[in-house]
């Protein structure tokens, strides 16, 4: 039986502007399971990214609870949330958001210095191992402006996991990349997941969503459907039949939900 690592109950988010109340999240009940690669799909404006931000403590919900490893974080203080994000959560966004005056190596290493119980030398070793793992050794001393978009996003993935987070939250991580770089980033996330990393990824792309073993369909501020898939087999990533079959399954399921 899978263990829920993060759960929401009656999670709601509203915004008020010019005396108009906009409800982005309805009353979301959701469990994320340890070791899963969960992807969230849905129309633009459906609240996918808002859900991810509320689950991760990047945004405060209007109502409801978010429980991480037994602790309700929905209304934690900003200081508590900052500590939680530093120790337990990793983030990858559509834009890499690297620090422009730091090298790629430094962008990976700096968040690692916040990890409790780890020395500077251990952090540098962890950052170096990730730089090598992400194929960035030759550009590790480059600034982001001297690197390609794909290299920057691979650096962002390394930065997201340098602290061995319990969960990696990814919001359209391939949205600004070409297909080759997208596949590379997805392969890296899949490799991390294969080694036990829990991943929650928002995407609008079916080809990306099928990398997960669980696909959620989000519409009008709530989960409207769920598709369980076999764990992605990275050794068959070049098998066109394998990939097409997964894509066909997901596409048919989405069509049944009026995607």
**3-state class of 217 per DSSP?**
strand
Tokens 């899963």 belong to residue: 36
Counting other chains too, the contacts that 13-16 makes at CB distance below 8 Å and 24 or more residues apart are 13/47, 13/50, 13/54, 13/59, 13/61, 13/62, 14/62
Tokens 């391939």 belong to residue: 174
The pLDDT, as a whole number, for residue 18 is 75
Q: Is 220 left (phi over 0), alpha (psi -120 to 50) or beta?
A: left
> Residue 97 contacts by C-beta under 8 Å, 6 or more apart in sequence?
156
Report CA-CA distances (Å) from 237 to 113, 114, 133, 187, 207.
Answer: 35, 36, 19, 9, 11
CA 97, CA 54: separation in Å to the nearest integer? 20
The pLDDT, as a whole number, for residue 20 is 78
The pLDDT, as a whole number, for residue 41 is 97
Q: Residues 219, 223, 226, 232: is their CA dihedral positive or negative?
A: positive
Strand blocks (E) in 134-258: 167-171, 198-202, 214-219, 222-228
Structure tokens at 10: 């009656």
In tens digits, what is the pLDDT along the chain, a chain of 259 residues? 789 999 999 999 998 877 778 899 999 999 999 999 999 999 998 999 999 999 999 999 999 999 999 899 998 999 999 999 999 999 999 999 999 999 999 999 999 999 999 999 999 999 999 999 999 999 999 999 999 999 999 999 999 999 999 999 999 999 989 999 999 999 999 999 999 999 999 999 999 999 999 999 999 999 999 999 999 999 999 999 999 999 999 999 999 998 8
Q: Is 57 left (phi over 0), alpha (psi -120 to 50) or beta?
A: left
What is the DSSP code string of 49-104? HHHHHHHHTSS--SEEEEEETTEE-TT--HHHHHHHHHHHEEEE-SS----TTS-H
The pLDDT, as a whole number, for residue 259 is 86
Helix (H) or strand (E) holding 107, with range, is helix 104-112
The pLDDT, as a whole number, for residue 2 is 86
CA 185, CA 206: separation in Å to the nearest integer? 15
The pLDDT, as a whole number, for residue 195 is 92
The pLDDT, as a whole number, for residue 19 is 75
């Amino acid at each position: 039986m899978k263990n829920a690592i993060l759960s929401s109950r009656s999670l709601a988010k509203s915004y008020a502007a010019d005396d108009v109340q906009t409800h982005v999240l309805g009353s979301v009940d959701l469990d994320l399971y340890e070791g899963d690669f969960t992807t969230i799909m849905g129309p633009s404006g459906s609240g996918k990214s808002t859900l991810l931000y509320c689950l991760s403590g990047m945004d405060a919900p209007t109502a409801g609870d978010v429980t991480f490893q037994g602790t309700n974080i929905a209304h934690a203080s900003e200081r508590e949330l900052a500590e939680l994000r530093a120790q337990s959560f990793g983030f990858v966004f559509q834009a890499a958001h690297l620090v422009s005056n730091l090298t790629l190596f430094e962008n990976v290493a700096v968040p690692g210095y916040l990890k409790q119980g780890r020395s500077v030398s251990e952090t540098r070793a962890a950052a170096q191992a990730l730089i090598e793992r992400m194929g960035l050794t030759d550009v590790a001393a480059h600034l982001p402006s001297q690197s390609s978009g794909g290299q920057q996003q691979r650096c962002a993935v390394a930065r997201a996991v340098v602290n061995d987070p319990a969960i990696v939250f990814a919001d359209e991580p391939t949205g600004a990349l070409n297909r080759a770089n997208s596949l590379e980033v997805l392969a890296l996330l899949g490799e991390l997941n294969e080694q036990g990393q829990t991943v929650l990824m928002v995407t609008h792309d079916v080809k990306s969503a099928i990398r997960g073993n669980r696909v959620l369909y989000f519409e009008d501020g709530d989960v409207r459907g769920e598709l369980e898939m076999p764990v992605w087999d990275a050794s068959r990533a070049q098998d066109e039949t394998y990939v097409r079959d997964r894509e066909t399954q997901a596409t048919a399921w989405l069509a049944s939900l009026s995607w």
